[in-house]
Structure 1
Amino acid sequence: MKITRFSTIAALGAVAAFTLAGCAANETAAPADSAPADNGAETTSLSGTIDATGASSQGSAQEAWVAGFQTANADANVLYEATGSGVGRDNFKAGASDFIGSDRAFKIEEIEEGGFGACASDDIVEVPNYISPIAVAFNLGDIKELNLDADTIAKIFSGKITTWNDPAIAALNEGVELPDTIITPVHRADASGTQETFQSYLAATAPSVWTYEPSDEWPLQSGEGADGTSGVVDAIKAGEGYIGFADASRTSDLGSVAVKNGDEFIPYSAEAAAALVEASPLEEGRAAHDLAFAVDPAAAPAGSYPIALVSYLIGCVEYEDAEVASLVKGYLQYVTSEEGQQVAAEAAGAAPLSAGLIEKVATAIDAIVTE
């Protein structure tokens, strides 16, 4: 069976809207033989083991999702290893992962090349499942909050600003006693969708300073590299004067930057990140079961946080093994259901998908063939 890869999908902001409903602290997965979930998940118990790798940004949420799903399906095992998005995509193409998490969707040209070893065909399903701000976090003693604009952030990470009491930083933080501590910027040493999202922000909002093409690889030799979200956070914590970027759910113990958008400095929050994505269309030229956002930080609406991560779950339309197909489909349905999104909001502070997008995602996941 072969499904047409490309069809045009409407780029409507309403489709991409997000709501930030309150999180239920005691929410647990519904038993597999109970009434169907709102997203039409299977009502029979699933069994077997599936392996997944990918985005470390999703790490905390994945731990909660796996626990909830396995509670509902006692005979199912989901093994998710936070390797970073780049490794996850490589593993999916090599057939080493049944599904992956990735902080960016496959590019259209990558899909056209095919060769997805995990799949029985070249058709893939890509759905957003995790929306979170990327925090610009730092370690500067008693200073816990700073205001920075795009040009200044770009100059810090490109090595043009080297001390914390630089006049450009001081001008944005009147009344803050800034030390002459050396700035050490930390980036990802591994290929990372979080890194590409951060570079996309710099390229879009500070093009005269950040002149590099956005990539999941770091374009400079300066600064310090660290593997995965945990590696970046640990590096910042270990060194005074260090600054880096990471999924906001992992940076609560560090100082944080309020990023300038328009005339305001916006602290990171799930709500402010969701406002950026809400204003973003879906990319055109993709299949109906391939839902990738075209986020433009330069067009961030007032009040939104302009560095927002849209992370995806990626699986096959067709698998060789029907048991694997059923288990992947069931897990993706759970993660992207209203309940699963509440679990992620509670565990990782992610912005839940709106009801309208949940419905769109459920239709995309239904393309996975289980017979």
Structure 2
Amino acid sequence: MIRTSVRRALIPGIAAATIFALSACGAANEDTKNDNAADNGPESSGLSGVLKGAGATSQEKAQEAWTIAVQGSNDGLEIQYNPIGSTDGRAQFTDGAVAFAGTDSAMTDEEGQLSDATKTCGSEPIQIPAYVSPIAVAFNLPDVDSVNMSADTIAKIFDGKITKWNDPAIVAENDGADLPDLKITPVHRSDDSGTTKNFTDYLGKASESWSYEADDAFPVGGEAAEGTSGVIQQITNIEGAIGYADNSQVEGLGRVSVKVGDEYVAPSAEGAAKVLEVSPGVEGASDVDMAVELDRTTTEAGAYPVVLLSYLLACQSYDDEETQANVKGYLEYIVSTEGQERAAEEAGSAPLAEATAKKAQEIVASIGG
């Protein structure tokens, strides 16, 4: 069964800063705890102790919102979510260093991930969707807010085969646009990232020009930066730069509208939700595993296929009763209508569809049962 002691040290600096920020948010929100209590539901009240989680940076804003709400109605509870990336989050969960994790790519058994987590938990781990969001292909061009691109064009840019903004391939998709004779600087994540895996999965499935496998590590060159914030900073600092990041965090940058069927679709929560609705579940998944095979080639009107579905990992039971109650209560709030609406407001995500939310709620309700 999972242990509550930390056997792998959290990355210094980031961990301390995040823990301080979330604790401060909880303290600042004490005056509103009575207002929040009515929204949280019975399992999200009466919690105490320290709940540790780690993982996807894409969930950071949503995790902050969920933390504020749940801490606001639980005086004795401190929630620590360390946004160290999906790969490290999964590793810390499997090592028993954290009680739950966020991941932008579903945990599979291709590299023994599920088997290792099963050993840690004592039974198959819970894997539920928590955060659905478009990945924006964001860029920095003076006086240009939007550019149309097909998957092939995007793939060639990130593979270094299209190097100028006025390349004929881009011009052909943007009739009448004033595109400069300016170098394109692709920016990618330097750290292993579920966002990278989702982005490269899209390129591999939707483009005939991308020859690399979907991976947490970006496979080709260009400018590299750590974490979502690092990518945004690089794009902002370099005129002509282009990169990929959670849509909620690219405010102030231009966004690519992606070709879907015969139309070009801008990133939106609604477009991301449509992709999830038409995507099948992973074959052979357990009853507590809601992993999905995202349909990157859909031609559904309004769908935006450059999307990430971010999951939460947890155990079905815990040796420590306090940890078990905290995990159950916190996750119950996240997949509730209130929790999903709060994430949509604060992080721009798409609320889970009713049927998806109901199944996730049933799985969370079974924790410790």
TM-score (norm 1): 0.87
Per the TM alignment, residue 106 of structure 1 is displaced from its structure 2 partner at its CA by 0.4
Q: Matches of 1:355 and 1:50 in 2, distance apart? A: 28
Letter in 2 for 1:272: G
Letter in 2 for 1:114: S
Confirm or deny: 8 A CA contact 1:119 1:320 kept in the other structure. no
Letter in 2 for 1:195: T
Change (3 A) 1:120 1:263: closer
For residue 359 of structure 1, what is the aligned residue in structure 2? 358
Provide Cα deviations, 1:84-140, integer angstroms capped at 9, x if missing partner.
Answer: 111111111122111111101101345676233994414200100100000000001
Letter in 1 for 2:329: G
Provide Cα deviations, 1:277-297, integer angstroms capped at 9, x if missing partner.
Answer: 111112121111111111121
Letter in 2 for 1:66: T
Q: Matches of 2:251 and 2:40 in 1, distance apart? A: 36
Deviating runs (4+, > 6 A) in structure 1?
28-33
For residue 214 of structure 1, what is the aligned residue in structure 2? 214
Provide Cα deviations, 1:316-337, integer angstroms capped at 9, x if missing partner.
Answer: 1122211111101110000110
Q: Matches of 1:269 and 1:123 in 2, distance apart? A: 34
Per the TM alignment, residue 42 of structure 1 is displaced from its structure 2 partner at its CA by 1.4
Residue 85 in structure 1 maps to residue 73 in structure 2: no
Structure with greater helix percent: 2
Provide Cα deviations, 1:170-200, integer angstroms capped at 9, x if missing partner.
Answer: 1111111111111110111111111111111
For residue 18 of structure 1, what is the aligned residue in structure 2? none
Q: Matches of 1:157 and 1:44 in 2, distance apart? A: 47
Identity %: 46
Change (3 A) 1:300 1:95: farther
Provide Cα deviations, 1:258-301, integer angstroms capped at 9, x if missing partner.
Answer: 00001100011111111111111121211111111111211341
Q: Matches of 1:147 and 1:35 in 2, distance apart? A: 41
Q: Matches of 1:307 and 1:35 in 2, distance apart? A: 32
Q: CA RMSD in A?
A: 2.0
Per the TM alignment, residue 32 of structure 1 is displaced from its structure 2 partner at its CA by 8.5
Change (3 A) 1:104 1:35: closer
Give runs of aligned pairs for residues 117-128 of structure 1, distance below 5 A.
Answer: 119-128=120-129
Provide Cα deviations, 1:320-362, integer angstroms capped at 9, x if missing partner.
Answer: 2111111011100001100000100100111101222221001
Per the TM alignment, residue 73 of structure 1 is displaced from its structure 2 partner at its CA by 1.3
Residue 190 in structure 1 maps to residue 184 in structure 2: no
Helix, strand or coil at the partner of 1:236: helix
Helix, strand or coil at the partner of 2:154: helix
Q: Matches of 1:49 and 1:118 in 2, distance apart? A: 23
Q: Matches of 2:202 and 2:161 in 1, distance apart? A: 18
Letter in 2 for 1:123: E
Change (3 A) 1:30 1:257: farther
Q: Matches of 1:61 and 1:242 in 2, distance apart? A: 27
Q: Matches of 1:115 and 1:333 in 2, distance apart? A: 25
Q: Matches of 1:367 and 1:43 in 2, distance apart? A: 15
For residue 313 of structure 2, what is the aligned residue in structure 1? 314
Helix, strand or coil at the partner of 1:115: helix
TM-score (norm 2): 0.87
Helix, strand or coil at the partner of 2:213: coil
Change (3 A) 1:118 1:242: farther
Give runs of aligned pairs for residues 1-371 of structure 1, distance below 5 A.
Answer: 37=41, 41-42=42-43, 44-110=45-111, 114-116=115-117, 119-207=120-208, 209-220=209-220, 222-369=221-368
Provide Cα deviations, 1:122-178, integer angstroms capped at 9, x if missing partner.
Answer: 420010010000000000111111000111000000000011111111111111111
Helix, strand or coil at the partner of 2:236: helix
Per the TM alignment, residue 33 of structure 1 is displaced from its structure 2 partner at its CA by 7.0
